[in-house]
Structure 1
């Protein structure tokens, strides 16, 4: 039996992070080398840029929903152990990342991506109560996981 992919997403960095990594990666070591030798300065500049891009690409997590698994970053769990799934935007997302946050949860958060998803973990052997992860397409993840709740946009008011 094949395990068909129902949803897949890479949480690529925002454009400004690419610009910052290229600028910092290129400038950091090359500024010390340029006064010594221009050719080695250029080589160091290009090497710093390549290293920065390599790190960004290598640390970009992937979300994948298959018929059997939910995979987020380096973690994966069988879908039979995934309970209620809720997506959040705007104030509701800030609520999940702030006052509503449980430090025992598994997180795969990217600060430049506003929507987040909480997926309840029902496996009694798993100490994580839920997974909290960023996504650019919360509606599609909800659909792939069979959740029929709308994406929440309002947080819980604390009085």
Structure 2
């Protein structure tokens, strides 16, 4: 495995508003526990906020990386040699590919809070997956990194 000429790494972090929602979940749980006293109310505030924050952090911890001759997208590791053309999707086209144009066999690393994406064909004849749909904030840069990794392989 050799290093990619254009290294790429992106963490699909949750938006800031989700952290506010985490605090609001804690406040809601605290309000539910008010009749039981001060300590349960504080426990609900801390526990509810912490549980919601851990959930938001875990959902936003997925990464997309081009490492040597591999594309690592979440749990998937795909050799770039098995990938074909990459198509940069703007917000409107990305929405179409995750709804009415979507193929149920496709690998979709989807984050609804990221409007843009990259669609990459899978050229491996032994793989039933027709394409990868990758939510990304920088689809052009990811496409360039994939092309550089293919050229270097």
For residues 26-56 of structure 1, give each alpha carbon's deviation from its aligned partner in whole angstroms, at most 9, with x where no partner exists: 0343233222121221122111111111111
Show the 5 A alignment for 1:45-56.
45-56=45-56
Q: Which consecutive unaligned segments of at least 5 residues does structure 1 have?
A: 148-159
List 4+ stretches of structure 1 deviating above 6 A.
Answer: none
CA distance in 2, matches of 1:91, 1:111: 13
Partner of 2:98: 97
Higher relative contact order (CA 8 A, sep 6+): 2
TM-score for the superposition, normalised by structure 1: 0.82
**Paired residues, number:** 146
Write the mapping of 1:6-155 to structure 2, written as runs, cut at 5 A. Answer: 6-24=7-25, 26-60=26-60, 61-146=62-147
Structure with the higher helix share, 1 or 2 = 2
| Number of the residue aligned with 1:156 | none
The alignment's C-alpha RMSD in Å is: 2.0
Question: Runs of 5+ in structure 2 lacking a partner?
Answer: 149-153
Q: State TM-score, norm by structure 2.
A: 0.85
Q: 1:40 to 1:63 in 2, by over 3 A?
A: same
